[in-house]
A and B are shown apart, each in its own frame.
Chain A
Amino acid sequence: MTRRTQSPGLALITAIVAIFMLTPMVLSTTAALVNNYSQGLASGLTLRWLEQVISVYGQTVVWSIAIAVACVIGNILIGVPAAYALARNPSRWAKTFEEILTLPVAVPGLATGLALILAYGTLRDFRQSYSFILVGHMIFTLPFLVRTVTAAFQRPDLVAMDEAAKTLGANFRQRFLGILVPAVLPAIAAGSLMVFTLSIGEFNLTWMLHTPLTRTLPVGLADSYASMRLEVGSAYTLVFFIVVLPMLWLLQWCTHLLEKKYAN
């Protein structure tokens, strides 16, 4: 309380910024719940736009989550060993490899998507399945996990733990799965959270890779904005919030818990 009285100017600026940022969110979600946006609340509240979204686009929500989860699992399986290899390899090649790995973050998603289509578009079953989108998401999100976990593996205490396990007679598999991976679990969780978040909201790349039968939530969102009533589009946004926010909070909470547990 004393703080507020000490700097009223700062409090005012904070309030203005907060209102400026929250207004679009509030307007967008209320638009989803009114009968007619142009008449505003006077037209009455309804859930029918939400129902319409769920019946038309419900599948995209399920697939988006499935792809994000698969993306996290796939990236852990590929990314954690890759991170270890990069952390323990001081050569120039390793540095170059890490830079190449990071490229898809800088290159526009559309370009990555086009490259994937050029290379693998002729494999029809692959091209028309959700795994094509999954591959795109993994290419885009892998560097976020690899970077975080590589940094963790490079910590001097991790190097010492690895050496300690060696002197105690542990082979590589025992050290990697029994000591190193558990020790970098907070980093893996933080990286996974990043991967999940990026995959759920990814549009650029997915728009290039999708087919009429393989659509994710953001692609469906674009479709609804372009072809449906404004209220339906807004309802879709609301669905996104309702589904994704609790999942993100849960993941964040897990990450935080792990970090606390392993804090040195």
Chain B
Amino acid sequence: MQTSAVSVNIQAAAKTYADGTRGLLPTNLTIEPAEIMALLGPSGCGKTTLLRIIAGLETVDKGGCIRFDDRDVTSLPVEKRQVGMVFQHYALFPHLSVAANIGYGLKVRGVDQTRQRKVVGDLLDLVQLQEHAHKRPTDLSGGQRQRVALARAVAAEPKVLLLDEPLTALDAKLKESLRDELGQLLRRLSITAVYVTHDQKEAMAIADRMAVMQSGQIVQLGKPEALYRQPTHPFVAAFLGRVNRITRSPEQTAQGVLSFDTFSMPVPVSHGSILMVRPEHLSIQPPHLPGAPGVVSTRVFLGDKVQLTVSLPNQPPVLVDCHGDVPWQVGDSVSIAIDPSNLLPFGESL
């Protein structure tokens, strides 16, 4: 539908609320044309504030600037900014039919009837709600409402599509199937989109790039895989998946080794004293093989895999993901092999 997607350029955008709380620290972000950018973080991290600033629903502090392509839209009111927005609870108009909801943006802009009908019809096809056109939103399921909200947001061909936790209102099972469907739909629209979520799986499945946010600022920005594999900040590592923390003494750090009782392995000095490693990157083996010696303290069977907690000498217990058929039981002595290349290096940034 969209012929020419625009880029979004955010410069030094900050938000201070009337009571003095800072919702967003000065933030820079560039979103490429037709890119799906996820803003990911825990509640209160400023992701929704940033989204609302792009929409024009929040004013930006003095000095901030928002551009769509080369056009400065900072002082443009939301009604004229030509954005489409999908709200957390959809905010559908309860007294209007599905078709009237989708066509609302066209109607208020004075688009002629024939064109309105055509666009609404096309969108009903796209979101597969043809037979529900005359129903009220209250008669639809959660997933259907979400699709109406999306169709309504894109009907007037907005320059930027903004989605505020669009899957949160759905139950867990539906959420997973709709996540992929929504991702495909967004790609088919080839529109610049900003997607706010606190669910890292959702962000990874849908976004081209994501910005992980914490305490009002972007901590790291990049492709989902890169962020998962090479987090530059411990918060990003922990937020995108489970991590084990292993600490080493100043002496070990200075010598460039990591030691567990009798076992010692080289780990560069530059890795610092706190090391992080994901549970799936640890492998468990019989106790006589070289590795960190430990004892299995819990075993959780998850069908396709088994999650073990292993107590290590002078360390907090670590989580290890193994195949579903590993023989180890609680109380067994084991050895854990750690590939140094899988240790997430944060230096002394902690």
Contact = CB atoms under 8 A, between A and B. Distances in A.
Given A164-B87, A169-B105, A169-B108, A183 B78 contact: no
A169 B82 contact: yes
Interface in A140-192: 157, 160-161, 163-171, 174, 178-179, 182-183, 185
Contacts of B153: 167-168
Interface residues of A, number: 21
B292 to A, nearest CB: 51
B152 interface: yes
Interface string A79-114: 000000000000000000000000000000000000
A183 B104 CA distance: 15
B84 interface: yes
B38 interface: no
A262 interface: yes
A158 B162 CA distance: 19
Nearest to A163: B57
Interface residues of B, number: 28
A262 B138 CA distance: 8
B36 to A, nearest CB: 18
B156 interface: yes
A161 B152 CA distance: 12
B230 to A, nearest CB: 36
A167 B95 contact: no
Interface in B115-153: 138, 152-153
Contacts of B78: 163, 166-167
A163 B79 contact: no
A169 B155 CA distance: 12
Interface string A231-264: 0000000000000000000000000000000111
B281 interface: no
Given A157-B89, A168-B104, A170-B79, A183 B95 contact: yes
A167 B83 contact: yes
Given A166-B57, A183-B95, A264-B138, A171 B84 contact: no
A157 B91 contact: yes
Nearest to A174: B108
B221 interface: no
Nearest to B162: A167
A164 B91 contact: yes
A163 B57 CA distance: 7
Contacts of A171: 79, 108
A168 B89 contact: no
Interface in B7-24: none
B84 A167 contact: yes
B91 A168 contact: no
Given A182-B95, A262-B94, A263-B138, A165 B89 contact: no
Interface string B83-124: 111011101111100000000110011000000000000000
Contacts of A165: 93, 104, 108
Contacts of A169: 79-80, 82, 105, 108-109, 156
B138 A167 contact: no
Contact of B156 (A164, A168, A179, A262): A168
A161 B156 CA distance: 17
Contacts of A174: 108
Contacts of B39: none
Interface in B30-56: 55-56
Contacts of B83: 167
A183 B137 CA distance: 13
Contacts of B88: 160
A34 B111 CA distance: 69
Contacts of A262: 94-95
A170 B104 contact: yes
A188 to B, nearest CB: 13
A170 B94 contact: no
Given A174-B108, A262-B94, A264-B138, A160 B87 contact: yes
A182 B95 CA distance: 7
Contacts of B81: 167
A160 B104 contact: no
A88 B104 CA distance: 23
Contacts of B156: 168-169
Contacts of B89: 157, 160
B94 A264 contact: yes
A166 to B, nearest CB: 5
A211 B88 CA distance: 58
A163 B51 CA distance: 13
Contact of A166 (B79, B93, B94, B152): B79
B8 to A, nearest CB: 15
Contacts of A161: 91-93
A132 B108 CA distance: 41
Contacts of A170: 79, 104-105, 108
A79 to B, nearest CB: 20
Q: Interface centre among B81, B82, B95, by most A CB within 10 Å?
A: B95
B147 to A, nearest CB: 15
A182 B78 CA distance: 22
A262 B92 CA distance: 12
List the 4 shortest-distance A-B pairs measured between CB atoms, nearest first. Answer: A168-B105, A160-B91, A164-B91, A170-B108
Given A164-B87, A169-B109, A178-B108, 15 more contacts: A160-B87, A161-B92, A163-B78, A163-B91, A164-B93, A165-B93, A165-B104, A166-B57, A167-B57, A168-B104, A169-B80, A170-B104, A174-B108, A179-B93, A185-B95
8 contacts: A157-B91, A163-B78, A167-B81, A167-B84, A167-B153, A168-B152, A169-B80, A185-B95
